[in-house]
Amino acid sequence: MTDPAATKHGPGRILIAVYGVFALAATARAGVQIATKFGDAPIAYLLSAVAAVIYCAATFALAKATVVSRKVATAAIAIELAGVIAIGAFSYAVPDDFPDATVWSHFGQGYGFVPLVLPVLGLLWLRRTR
Amino acid sequence: MVYAVVLAARDKRIDWTVLGAVGIVEVGLITQLVVGIAQYAGTDRDVSGPFFIGYLIGSLIILPIGAFWALAESSRWGAGALAIACLVIPIVELRLHDLWAV
Q: Where are the domains of chain B?
A: 2-101
B54 in contact with chain A, both atoms CB, cutoff 8 A: yes
Using a CB–CB cutoff of 8 Å, tell me whether B62 touches chain A: yes
Amino acid at position B92, single letter: V
Of A9, A18, A32, the CB nearest to B51: A32
Give DSSP secondary structure letters for A19-47.
HHHHHHHHHHHHHHHHHHHGGG-HHHHHH
The residue that leads in pLDDT, B96 or A50, is A50
Share of chain A above pLDDT 70, in %: 95
**A112 class by beta-carbon count within 10 Å (0-12 exposed, 13-18 middle, 19+ buried):** exposed
pLDDT tens, position by position, B18-33: 777 778 888 888 878 8
Nearest to A51 by CA among A129, A127, A108: A108
Per-residue tens of pLDDT for chain A, all 130 residues: 467 788 888 788 888 888 988 898 888 888 888 888 777 777 778 888 898 999 999 998 888 888 888 888 898 999 999 988 888 888 888 777 665 667 788 888 878 888 888 999 988 888 888 7
Backbone angles phi, psi at A112, to 5 degrees: 60, 30
Contact yes or no for A32 and B54 at CB 8 A: yes
Per-residue pLDDT at A12: 81
pTM of the predicted protein model: 0.84
Chain A touched by B6 (CB under 8 Å): no
Q: Residue B6 pLDDT > 80, yes or no?
A: no
In the predicted structure, residue B44 carries a pLDDT above the cut 70: no
DSSP B41: H
Quote the pLDDT of residue B47: 62
In chain B, which residues have their Cβ closer than 8 Å to the Cβ of A31?
A: 54
Q: Which helix (H) or strand (E) holds A97?
A: none
Q: Of A27, A8, A117, A10, which is closest to residue A73 (Cα–Cα)?
A: A8
Handedness of CA B1, B28, B64, A59 (dihedral sign): negative
Q: Is B84 close to A18, i.e. CB distance below 8 A? A: yes
Distance CA A23, CA A54 (A): 8
- ipTM score: 0.77
Percent of chain B past pLDDT 90, that is, above it, reads 0
Question: Which of B47 and B50 is assigned the larger pLDDT?
Answer: B50
The residue of chain B with its CA nearest to that of A112 is: B91
Q: Which residues of B touch A28 (CB under 8 A)?
A: 54, 58
Which has the higher per-residue pLDDT, A84 or B2? A84
Q: How far is A21 from chain B (nearest CA, A)?
A: 8
Supply the pLDDT for residue B1. Answer: 45
Closest Cβ–Cβ partner in B54, B58, B81 for A17: B81
- Least confident range from A57-71, A78-92, B1-15, B42-56: namely B1-15
Question: Is the separation of the CB atoms in A102 and A80 below 8 Å?
Answer: no
Q: Give the pLDDT confidence score for residue A77 in this predicted structure.
A: 92
CB-nearest to A28 from B58, B82, B88 is: B58
Q: For chain B, what percent of residues have pLDDT higher than 70?
A: 74
